Structures are given as C-alpha cells and as structure tokens.
Structure 1
C-alpha cells in the first residue's frame, strides 16, 4: 500500500489553507498514493477565539468538507483530513478528523479526546480546552487490507487509546499533529516509535511545520514508523510538502507473532505504601 503524508504550514485564512491542502493532496495522488493524510488543523491554525469564530462557520466547514469529499472521489483515494475545527452548539469547537473513502463517502469522524493544556519552558502556555471540546469516542475504520485507528496530536501521549485500537484490529495507527517545536524536538520521534513498538502497528503522522501566521512554531518531521519501531519515511524538515511511503501490512502480523503483547494484558491491583515514623527501621 502506498501512502502519503501532507506536511503543511496552515495559516489564518481557511479558504487559502483548503486550496493549499488540495494542491498537495493532488500531488500525492499523482505519485501513486491510495491513502493520503493531512495534519491536525489542516484548515486553520489560529489561537484567537474570535478570529476562529469568524473563519470557522458552519457554511465554511460544509464547503471544505464537500470539496475534500469531491477530491477524494475524483482522485480515487482514501483521504484522511487530520483535523478541522468544527463549530459546536455551546460556542466551542471540535477538533475533528474526517475520513473519506475513494467514492468520496465520509466513513467516519473522530474528535480529539485529550486536550493540550500545558505550561512549557520559556513561558509557552496552551489551554486547548478553553476553545475546544474533547471527544468521547475512539474510532477504527476499515480501508480494505488496512484497519485505521484515528488519533490527533496530544492523543499520542496516551498509549491506552492506541492499544484499544490495536486490540480491535487496527494495523495502521494515525496521529496527525501540530506538535510545538519545543515538544517535538524532545518527544516526537520517541513517542511515535513507542506506539508502534508496543502495539506491533504501523504509525503514520502528518505534521504542521514552521512559524505560522498566529506566531506559533510547529515541529514538522512527518513520520511513518513500521511495526518493529523503525522509521520507514521522514520529512526531515518543517517545510510544506509530500512524504511518500510503502507499507507492507504483512509486517504487522509478523511483529505481533514475535511479541504478542496485545494478548498478554493482565488485571492487577495498585497498592500505595507509606513508611510511617513508627515503623521506621533503625
């Protein structure tokens, strides 16, 4: 299976981002990709809530969705839009992935579950939950020989999500992302390799990269990891472009046969013990 990851530097104008994504998706299909993945927040990178509300209207989201569906059908590809902001009734937004099949049908969506609420070194701080509502359901979808597990960015740090997907038969785990430069430099490669190793799965992660119009910096380095934890393909920069990779799905069964960790889970109890002063050993 030939896949492509689209690396972007999305800005503050939704229509421009959609145009740029579509051009790169068409380029990937021309190179033979049958599955194409774009990064988190394909259609908008913006931290100001009022500006998000101005750009991300129901009409704009519907128009982008129709355009992506039409493109998937015209190119004959499975198209995975890593995520788009989608307005919700409570005034917040969903950080929502969309998966279209080669007929242009919307197979499933997935709302990012884990919110990026962190305080990093140098004063960098994020409160994703102030603008976005967390999802509550995991998603696994069939694409022929591939069963796809969907995640988004910060979800990558929560191994339980991907283990559940792998145990449900997922053989390609996905984490389209907009990792900050700071966290990407420290953790991006090791986290993606860990998720592949512990589940015996392929992992594919399309990334945002570079300095965006709203001032944030993202790491880039879109990656495909094989079930043994080896890097199959990497876009070794933060520039927009297309990363191609060939997947041998038979390697999933081989890795899981060698180390069948998905079948070795055991229930256990957790005990916490404190050493009180009266029981201290002299």
Structure 2
C-alpha cells in the first residue's frame, strides 16, 4: 500500500485596503473564516492589509501586540484552529517600528515574527517611497514550521533579492510566502515574472497574498496596488490568481511531494558552489581596443 503524500492546505487572500483599520480588520476576519471553512490549515494575509496609506500615516497607526486588531486576529486563529500569518504591518516594538509578519498559532498565541529585511526605497512614477525613513530593517532570514512543512518568509520588496529566497530554500523551505502590497505599475511589469522565477529557481511553492485597488479619495499619498494574489507551483505553474477581486480567498492544496520530485530532477540546491560564487571576487577579462588589421577597412 502506498503511503499518503505530504500536503498542506493554505489560504491565499486578497482585498482592497485603506486607512480604515476597523473596516480592514472586518475583511480580514471574513476571509480567515472562509479559508478555515474550506479546510485551510494556515492562512496568510497581505502586507499592509490592516492599514494602507502613506508611510507616515502607517507609522503613526503602528500596531503593537496588545492592540485590539491583533487581539481580534488572535481570537479568530484560536476559534477556527488555524495558523495565521499577518503578512506585514507596521509593528511598534521597544526597538522601533518594523514591517513585520506576525505568526499566530492555533491557540491564538503570537509565536514569532519576520521583520522585512529589504525596505522599499524607490521612486516609481514620480512618487517617492522611502520606507527606511519610517521603519527599521530586519536582520535575519526566518523560517516557519507548520505541520512539519518548512516555510520561508519574505515580504513584498524582498522578492527582488533572490539570494534571500535561495538561502531559505537551502535551509529547507519547501514553500515561500511573499505577502505584498505591490505598486500597480511595477506589478503590471514584474509581479508574475518575479514570483514564478523565485518558484522555479528554488523549486518551491510560492504563496503571495496581495492588496488590490486604487486609493480612495480621502487617503492622502496612498498608492494603487496591483492585486493578483498568486500561488505558484515548484515548476512555475500558476495554481491560483485572484485577479483584481476586492475581497477574495482561495484555499490551495500544496502537494509537498512535488517539491521533492522537482528537486530530484533539477538538484540546483545540492549543486550550489558557494565557495566559487561568494567567496572570491569576480575575475575580470579586459578586451582592449585594437588597431585595424592591414588591408581591412577602418
């Protein structure tokens, strides 16, 4: 008799977030309920899903572990028996404000967090995003273990730094989480390509919840986000795409045997040669200008 395969049901979420924390929290609770009812064992929320505005506004509204919103999410996790990853929020701590993904276990306890390492300092379409002016960068890659499945944690802009996802995969991650509030213009150009690339090069599932929609008129300096929350297979196939739905959730059943099968076909993790790539300076081959040979045109 063949032994049953390893699997994990995960809730992929998406919604239109604003500066209205109460309204955003109500949406979060609804999608968590829907994912749990569909059998999800872990539910992942988007970056800035609980409050999306300007960097300054989000910092001023930074959450702490005792906030009513976090308490409501903890209660939901305990009541529904799901692991909850609050995909990214301005997190007020004694050491400063971080962009953190909080992990809440099935008893409703906050058991850890990942602090975003790569902060979004960019100029897109004439709008400046200076995340480092309002939050501190995280210092360490973070892995989450759920039901024996090792999961690597990233947040949004981290996806543009492939060395982070590769380190997580090399440490055993079979799933990469990328909760995001991806800017509309860069999302149209890069979102699907980046997420599929991270899945393909690491032969891992990628789960990327997202915020979606244009900023509302009363939200000063907010920015439209792309949506298209994605689930991608270890072979690069898009398993789910929530498009531009303003409140959506889909439970995706991850077959972890596919990770092992893909990595057996393409053992890229075992084939890494870090000593050659990272331990030495690149060799530079210089080709200088030469005089034309005799009898040839100049």
Partner of 1:82: 87
C-alpha separation in 1, matches of 2:29 and 2:77: 10
Aligned-residue offset at 1:173? 0.4
Gap regions ≥5 residues in structure 1: none
Aligned-residue offset at 1:280? 3.0
2:284 to 268, 272, 280: 272
Aligned-residue offset at 1:221? 0.3
Partner of 1:177: 180
1:113 to 104, 109, 117: 117
Cα distance per residue 1:171-199 (max 9 Å; x no partner): 11000000011010111101111111111
C-alpha separation in 1, matches of 2:98 and 2:267: 36
Partner of 1:216: 223
Distance change (3 Å), C-alpha of 1:273 and 1:140: same
Tell me the TM-score normalized by structure 1: 0.91
Partner of 1:281: 290
2:13 to 6, 18, 26: 6
The aligned runs of 1:113-152 (5 Å cut-off) are: 113-120=117-124, 122-152=125-155
Root-mean-square deviation (CA, aligned residues, Å) is 1.8
- Contact kept, 8 Å, 1:206 with 1:222, in 2: the verdict is yes
- Contact kept, 8 Å, 2:55 with 2:134, in 1: the verdict is no
Distance change (3 Å), C-alpha of 1:57 and 1:2: closer
1:27 to 31, 34, 51: 34
3-state SS in 1 of match to 2:35: helix
Of Structure 1 and Structure 2, the greater helix share is in 1
Cα distance per residue 1:63-104 (max 9 Å; x no partner): 2222212211110111111011112457x6211101122222
* Structure 1 residue ranges (4+ consecutive) displaced by more than 3 angstroms after TM superposition: 51-54, 272-275
- Contact kept, 8 Å, 1:219 with 1:238, in 2: the verdict is no
